[in-house]
Amino acid sequence: MANQKQTRKGEMMGKARVSIETITAEIRAKYDPMIERVRLTGDVELAECLLEERDERILDCEVEAGEAETDRMGTLESMSSETLKAIAHNLRRLRTKAGLSQASLAEAAGLAQPRISEIERMVVDNPELKTLEAIAGALGATVSQLTKQPKPEVR
């Protein structure tokens, strides 16, 4: 009986996987040509927004199907609230130290301005590694500098 349940679960997982792959392919088929056309016009910001939207839709489908339990630094792993606080704190500190506004940092990193604001306000649960790399590069920093826990203040 236990083997039957495991076999049944395996069959269901296989069907879910095919569905996710099919949905992912459909999402890519819808977005990728649009992204390419926008890139050809030179509107990099809009292309990046469409790319992020596409990736979020794919991720949402994977989460719903229980497929996204890997690392969100590439796909999806919950970051601790301490790590998110560290990123927000370090991003704000490094940005202001560099004398950059959120908009100018976003432009230098090739991101939309709201993304910087969302990370600083900890609205984004799991910023993607490519986003953190772009921000760090624009700040002349490393991703580890963004994620490093700040030292406690001495009073």
Q: Which of 28-37, 50-59, 60-69, 108-117 has the highest mean predicted lDDT (pLDDT)?
A: 108-117
Positive or negative: CA dihedral 82, 83, 86, 92? negative
Mean pLDDT along residues 84-107: 92
Which residue blocks in the chain are alpha helix, DSSP H?
2-41, 44-64, 81-97, 102-109, 113-120, 129-139, 143-147
pLDDT top residue among 151 and 126: 126
For the question of whether the overall pTM of this predicted structure is more than 0.75, the answer is: no
Cα–Cα distance measured from residue 72 to residue 94, given in angstroms and rounded to the nearest whole number: 24
66 pLDDT higher than 90? no
More confident residue, 15 or 49: 49
Residue 131 CA to residue 38 CA, distance in Å, equals 20
**CA-only gyration radius of the chain, Å:** 19
Structure tokens at 120: 């600083």
Identify which has the larger pLDDT, 131 or 66: 131
Average pLDDT over all residues of the chain: 75
